[in-house]
Structure 1
Amino acid sequence: MAAESASLRVLQLINTLARADGGPARHALEVNSALNARPGISALVVSMTGASRDSLVAEQEWPAAHASERRPNAFDLWRLIGRTDVVVIEGFYLAWVPFAALACFARRVPYAIVPHGVFTRYQHSQSRAKKSLFDAIAGRWVRSRASRFLVASAIERDDMEGLFPRLHLSVVGIGSGSVAEPALGGRHEPMRLISMSRIAAKKRIDIAIDAVAMMKEMGIDAMLTIAGSGDPGLVQGLQERVQGLGLSDRIVFTGELGGRAKSELFAASDALVAPSEDENFGIAIAEALSAGVPVVATQFVGAALAAGGRAVRVVDTVSAPTLSKALIELRNDPNYGALRKTAVLTAQREFSWETVAARWHVALGALAHSGQRPQDNGPTHGS
């Protein structure tokens, strides 16, 4: 690893740095860049399944990142772990994870696991047979030997504590840079709403569509832009729903957006809607707030609960009536302009990479310098 003189040497192991892996790959590079920007720390992220033609590394969005896309063989992995103070395993239900954990155990190097939401109650209930087999072979051992689990939100922590009460957990959050120049003006007419996420059943984008229909029935004009890609059958079903409700002039599907198109959409929007029934974090919430866009989300969206404050309206149920009511209240807020400023300040306080990297640094530094090793799980209740 670079910077042998660094007081904390971190090795991140990620399944792949391919763009197709989406959130985990991007998150690993963002964390790596943020950690390397801090004094006294050196971090290297290694792709365990090898280089990809569609790699995120080539995008050069992480100037401080140190990444290797060359798939390590057993000797490489053994050598890298031996030169490291703490290992971060990004992911869990992956074939290479038990071997990496075993190497850490053998070299007496503590490892932390970033589960990327696989242990929320919702996700834990999916593909139960495959997960049970993995657990029976190696998963339970890997969990029991982990020195710490680093999770994105209090929702993820609480779900994991319910499933595995003896794990040592820390909430480190997820950071977000500014995706657009903050919009600090008033509200548009009609009200401009956005959904920015992967299109999946649990995201409940159908609820957002129905909320727009309910607002239309009440004589309130709202436009909804659905940005994201997903299962073609689900997308088609949502498009047919829009047509059936007579909302083709109010709701558009753009597919996945990035770069300038994404920035322009945030800058021109009045609110982001996230009616998901399961979201261990939800990076779009952090991005929206950093762009001065208030958020309406369900209580099952981790980033919304972490942000709190007047710029984020959290609804208790996943339903069109509760969502539309919250949107109308937001639309009618006489201090809407001030909410945009509050949104930006909230993002800076909770989701800046400087803040998140500091949490990581504290959590990893505690493992590396406390003498806590993989066979010692420490306290049963995390922070």
Structure 2
Amino acid sequence: MKILHIIPSVASVRGGPSQAVVETVKALRNLGIDTEIVTTNDNGNDLFDVPLGKPIDYKQVPVRFFSRFSPKVNFIREFAFSSQLTTWLWQNAARYDLLHIHAIFSYASTVAMAIARIQGIPYIVRPLGQLCEWSLQQSACKKQIYLNLIERANINHSQALHLTSEQEQQEVSRLALRSPSFVLPHGLSIPSTISNARSLFREHLKVPADEPIILFLSRLHPKKGLDYLIPALGKLTNYRFTFVIAGNGSKEYEAEIESLLISNRISDRTCLTGFVTGETKNLFMQGSDLFALTSYSENFGVAVLEALAMGIPVIVTPGVALATVVQQNKLGYVPELDVQAIAKAIEQYLTHTPEAKDMGDRARKIISENYTWDQVAVKMEQIYESIIQFFPINS
């Protein structure tokens, strides 16, 4: 079985979905499946300095990078156009038994679906939450035109939609697409425990050893709900805490966040650390007391999963797909997307610390038993085999 994964970018700055495809391929290869990634050299506003057009070892998996068109106009650059990628896919896609295409509304994904349709190659699509209601409402006119003229036909001809939560599946079902769907969540590579993470993190931030730390770790984007979380924290004037924002975004939005911190009078209680990865990210996760993601919409929420795996209680809003898991298993708090409700949930955490330890213990157990990449890869292999087996009959 030979599988090709296509995604516009594998850059860490693109967040969880890009990291997930790398981990998926790594786990599939551990099962003996011949699979690799094709992508552009996109690295946010920059480009990866990597050899182009040939497989290289990237984070222990084979990846072929192709040149991304990089004009100064942001929305054109973000579209990730690549003529080299197009040529290579046209000449080589048929060598694979199945294409696993990640993202929509982006050139690399769209052209991969079109080529698969023309050449009669089976493919599945992971839309990365871009078919969810909130996402479709952003730049709604452009997306509706793109969806109706191009992407709907591409999706309808896919063998399946790969969705990562039941919540995403419910939202996608409202679009009346013809392609069937299956739900397979992201997995997690659980890092080794840092024994003195709490003290090390507080030393790093230069805050008292007993200071409660509330962590937001994600890219800075309007959908992440910081416009609710920051005002909620601003209401907790009678409580000690340090708020950590670990992530980056556009310069304009970063400036907006800084203004929001000042207007809510918590700038002196907030550490803006920028984007963190590797051991620094692990330290942030393991050294925090509460992880917060009050998003408008998340088709999954990889960072939430990472926090739970470390035994950190979370506060998430209903738009985060993992909210159901959090609520059903009492792994944290799920307030409505409302300033008062979020403030009340954080206050509840700050006044019920022993309860939080029980949440953390449950979270570690549930994540280790249900969300490892090895478990995901086994299920993915079964799905691939089923699609490949029946494709000649259905095509």
Instruction: Kindly provide the CA deviation profile for residues 249-296 of structure 1, in whole angstroms up to 9, marking residues without a partner as x.
Output: 322211111122212211211110111111111111011112221111
Alignment-derived partner of residue 133 in structure 2: 121
Q: 2 CA distance for matches of 1:202 and 1:54?
A: 30
How far is 1:35 from its partner? 1.1
How far is 1:174 from its partner? 1.2
Alignment-derived partner of residue 192 in structure 1: 213
Going from structure 1 to structure 2, the CA distance change for 1:180 and 1:55 (only over 3 Å counts) comes to farther
Alignment-derived partner of residue 68 in structure 1: 64
1:92 aligned onto 2:104: yes
Alignment-derived partner of residue 226 in structure 2: 205
Going from structure 1 to structure 2, the CA distance change for 1:322 and 1:254 (only over 3 Å counts) comes to same
Going from structure 1 to structure 2, the CA distance change for 1:240 and 1:127 (only over 3 Å counts) comes to closer
Deviates more, 1:359-368 or 1:140-149: 359-368
Q: Secondary structure at the match of 1:370?
A: helix
Deviates more, 1:188-197 or 1:54-63: 54-63
Alignment-derived partner of residue 36 in structure 2: 44
Alignment-derived partner of residue 101 in structure 1: 113
Alignment-derived partner of residue 83 in structure 1: 95
Alignment-derived partner of residue 80 in structure 2: none
Instruction: Kindly provide the CA deviation profile for residues 287-333 of structure 1, in whole angstroms up to 9, marking residues without a partner as x.
Output: 11122211110111013334541223222x11222122222333315
Q: Secondary structure at the match of 1:371?
A: helix
Q: Secondary structure at the match of 2:312?
A: coil
How far is 1:155 from its partner? 1.8
Q: Secondary structure at the match of 1:89?
A: strand
How far is 1:177 from its partner? 1.7
Q: After TM superposition, list the pairs within 5 Å mapping 1:356-367 onto structure 2.
A: 356-367=376-387
Structure 1, unaligned stretches of length 5 or more? 1-7, 376-383
Q: Secondary structure at the match of 2:315?
A: strand
Alignment-derived partner of residue 275 in structure 1: 294
Q: Is the 8 A contact 2:8 2:39 kept in 1?
A: yes
Percent of aligned pairs sharing the same letter? 21
Q: Is the 8 A contact 1:153 1:302 kept in 2?
A: yes
Q: Which residue of 159, 174, 181 maps to 2:171?
A: 159
Q: 2 CA distance for matches of 1:345 and 1:225?
A: 26
Going from structure 1 to structure 2, the CA distance change for 1:227 and 1:74 (only over 3 Å counts) comes to closer
Q: Is the 8 A contact 1:182 1:292 kept in 2?
A: no
Going from structure 1 to structure 2, the CA distance change for 1:204 and 1:101 (only over 3 Å counts) comes to closer
How far is 1:238 from its partner? 2.4
Deviates more, 1:138-147 or 1:184-193: 184-193
Deviates more, 1:277-286 or 1:327-336: 327-336
How far is 1:111 from its partner? 0.6
Q: 2 CA distance for matches of 1:121 and 1:93?
A: 15
Q: Secondary structure at the match of 1:45?
A: strand
Deviates more, 1:86-95 or 1:268-277: 86-95
Q: Secondary structure at the match of 2:342?
A: helix
How far is 1:134 from its partner? 2.5
- Paired residue type of 2:293: A
TM-score by length of 1: 0.84
Going from structure 1 to structure 2, the CA distance change for 1:342 and 1:103 (only over 3 Å counts) comes to same
Alignment-derived partner of residue 272 in structure 2: 253
How far is 1:197 from its partner? 1.1
Deviates more, 1:233-242 or 1:96-105: 96-105
Deviates more, 1:282-291 or 1:136-145: 136-145
Q: 2 CA distance for matches of 1:59 and 1:178?
A: 25
Q: Secondary structure at the match of 2:106?
A: coil
- May I ask how many residue pairs the two structures share in their alignment? 363
Q: 2 CA distance for matches of 1:81 and 1:251?
A: 49
Q: 1 CA distance for matches of 2:308 and 2:51?
A: 24
Alignment-derived partner of residue 318 in structure 1: 337
Going from structure 1 to structure 2, the CA distance change for 1:255 and 1:38 (only over 3 Å counts) comes to same
Deviates more, 1:117-126 or 1:88-97: 88-97
Going from structure 1 to structure 2, the CA distance change for 1:224 and 1:48 (only over 3 Å counts) comes to closer
Q: 2 CA distance for matches of 1:359 and 1:75?
A: 32
1:172 aligned onto 2:184: yes
Q: 1 CA distance for matches of 2:242 and 2:135?
A: 31
Structure 2, unaligned stretches of length 5 or more? 68-83, 200-208
Greater percentage in helix: 2
Q: Secondary structure at the match of 1:190?
A: coil
Q: 1 CA distance for matches of 2:262 and 2:9?
A: 39
Which protein, 1 or 2, shows the higher relative CO under an 8 Å CA cutoff with sep ≥ 6? 1
Q: 1 CA distance for matches of 2:298 and 2:194?
A: 25
Alignment-derived partner of residue 300 in structure 1: 319
Q: 2 CA distance for matches of 1:298 and 1:27?
A: 22
Q: Secondary structure at the match of 1:67?
A: strand
Q: Secondary structure at the match of 1:194?
A: strand
Going from structure 1 to structure 2, the CA distance change for 1:130 and 1:55 (only over 3 Å counts) comes to farther
Q: Which residue of 340, 346, 370 maps to 2:360?
A: 340
Q: Is the 8 A contact 1:109 1:374 kept in 2?
A: no
How far is 1:183 from its partner? 7.2
Alignment-derived partner of residue 287 in structure 1: 306
- Paired residue type of 2:228: I
TM-score by length of 2: 0.82
Going from structure 1 to structure 2, the CA distance change for 1:16 and 1:230 (only over 3 Å counts) comes to closer
Going from structure 1 to structure 2, the CA distance change for 1:186 and 1:309 (only over 3 Å counts) comes to farther
Q: Is the 8 A contact 1:36 1:42 kept in 2?
A: yes
Q: Secondary structure at the match of 2:107?
A: coil
